[in-house]
Copies of this chain bind each other. A is one copy, B any other.
Amino acid sequence: MKQKITLKHIARELDVSISTVSKALKNSEEIGRDTKDKIQAFARLYNYKPNNIAISLKNKRTRNIGVIIPDIVHHFFTTVFRGIEQFANTKGYNVIVCVSDESFDKEVINMEMLANGSIDGFIMALAGETQLKKDFNHLKEVTEQGIPLVLFDRVTDEVRCDKVIINDEAAAHQVVKKLIKAGRKRIALVTTEDYLNVSANRAEGYYRALKEHNLPIDEKLVLELPYQQESETLSKKFFEDNKMDAVLCVNEIFAVKCMGIAQKLGYRIPEDIAFVGFTDGILSHFANPGLTSVDQHGQIMGETAAQMLIEKIERDHENEVEEEIFETKIIAATLIERASTPKFL
B-binding residues in A (CB < 8 A)? 1-4, 47, 49-54, 56-57, 62, 64, 72-73, 75, 78-79, 81-82, 85-86, 89, 94-99, 110, 112-118, 141, 144-146, 253, 256-257, 260, 263, 282-283, 286-288, 322
Contact = CB atoms under 8 A, between A and B. Distances in A.
B57 A53 contact: yes
A49 B144 contact: no
Contact of A257 (B145, B260, B286): B286
Nearest to A85: B99
Contacts of A64: 96, 118
A113 B93 CA distance: 10
A288 B3 CA distance: 55
A52 B96 CA distance: 14
A56 B52 CA distance: 11
Contact of A49 (B56, B86, B96, B112): B112
Query: Which 6 residue pairs are nearest across A and B when measured between Cβ atoms?
Result: A51-B117, A53-B117, A52-B117, A49-B116, A1-B146, A52-B116
Given A50-B116, A145-B4, A73 B78 contact: yes
Given A256-B286, A286-B257, A53 B118 contact: yes
Nearest to A99: B85
A94 B81 CA distance: 16
Contacts of A95: 96-98
A197 to B, nearest CB: 24
A170 B168 CA distance: 47
A94 B99 contact: no
B57 A85 contact: no
Given A94-B114, A282-B282, A283-B282, A72 B62 contact: no
Given A73-B75, A78-B72, A79-B73, A96 B96 contact: yes
Contacts of A287: 286, 288
A62 B73 contact: no
B78 A89 contact: no
A147 to B, nearest CB: 9
Given A117-B52, A257-B286, A97 B98 contact: no
